[in-house]
Structure 1
């Protein structure tokens, strides 16, 4: 019996099937824009302020360096203006990210009832000592 080589050929799933309501029911229905927003939005929220701040610093250093060097004043003004715009973008995205973090923290905070707080506070206070500890007197232990 001759052996046939196995090939790694991709299988074409065909066009997505639509249900009666018009929604996709194919294999790729979870890869829409709504599903990918959950993956990309946190990454953009973290990297947008970092990249724009790094860009702002670079452009401002180059722009003010060009001013000091006395090169093309139009280029230097353009670099500094773009650097300040990038700074404003970095501040804005940082503020939006911090606001989203605060909202998320407020949504997911744990609530404690007053009874729980009283119980934990009374457990943390030590019981009053009626007699001094034997070690605190003279170093000897009292006879039994």
Structure 2
């Protein structure tokens, strides 16, 4: 991935709440790569590195939360795949530090989630936080 993208993009690894330039070294603890055209341009896209086993995605913060890989993505009307909102919200809400923008994203997206998507998110958050979660 690095060799392919680094010819046209600047890649940053996200670790511990900080972004640092990624020089292509092995990513042992990195789960996110942020990509831009230059240090002065906005982020173009984010690459999330996931754990899988066979044909299943495994949530890194609670390995009992899993989903078939082919059920992780939706597609725009133009056929562009994107991560299901309830999975993205789980990543945001399951963090050790839930940011204000994550709360805002939750409030914005929640009304558009289907009942089964809301139920899955609630169930996953309860597995990760059995005592309670905001």
Structure number with the bigger relative contact order (C-alpha 8 A, sep ≥ 6) is 1
State the TM-score, normalizing by the size of structure 2.
0.23
The structure in which a higher percent of residues are strand is 2
Higher gyration radius (CA): 1
State the TM-score, normalizing by the size of structure 1.
0.22
